[in-house]
Amino acid sequence: MVGQKQLQSRMYQLIENDTFPRFSILVGPKGSGKKLLAHDVAKKISNALVYDVGISVSDVRAAVENSYKMVNTVVRIIPDADTMSNAAKNALLKVTEEPPNDTYFIMTLEDEGNTLETIRSRGTVFHMDRYTPDEIFEYYWSLEGSSIMPHGMSNDAELVRELCETPGDVQTLVKMGVQEFYDYVQLVVDNISDVQLANSFKIPSKVALKDDAEGYDLKLFWKAFIKVCMERSFDDIEDKFEEAEHTTRMIVAAQITSGYLSSLRVKGINRQMLMDNWIISIRSI
What is the 3-state secondary structure of 170-197? HHHHHHHCHHHHHHHHHHHHHHCCCCCH
pLDDT above 70 (res 148): no
Q: In which element (H, E) is residue 91 found? A: helix 86-97
- What's the rounded Cα separation, in Å, for the pair 71 and 119? 25
Quote the distance between the C-alpha of residue 171 and its chain's center.
Answer: 12
Q: What is the model's pLDDT at position 18?
A: 92
pLDDT above 80 (res 1): no
- pLDDT (mean) for 149-156: 69
Q: What is the pLDDT of residues 218-256, one digit of tens each?
A: 999 999 999 999 998 876 555 555 567 778 889 999 999
CA neighbor of 52 nearest in space, from 35, 33, 30: 35
Quote the distance between the C-alpha of residue 102 and its chain's center.
Answer: 32
Q: What is the pLDDT of residues 114-141, one digit of tens each?
A: 999 999 999 999 999 999 999 999 899 8
* Contact by Cβ (8 Å): 165, 2: no
Quote the distance between the C-alpha of residue 179 and its chain's center.
Answer: 22
Q: In which element (H, E) is residue 261 found? A: helix 244-263
Q: Which of 65-69, 159-163, 230-234 ranks highest by mean pLDDT?
A: 159-163
Question: Sign of dihedral through CA atoms 36, 42, 43, 49?
Answer: negative
Residue 121: left if φ>0, alpha if ψ -120 to 50, beta else—which one?
A: alpha
- What's the rounded Cα separation, in Å, for the pair 229 and 224? 9
- What's the rounded Cα separation, in Å, for the pair 93 and 119? 6
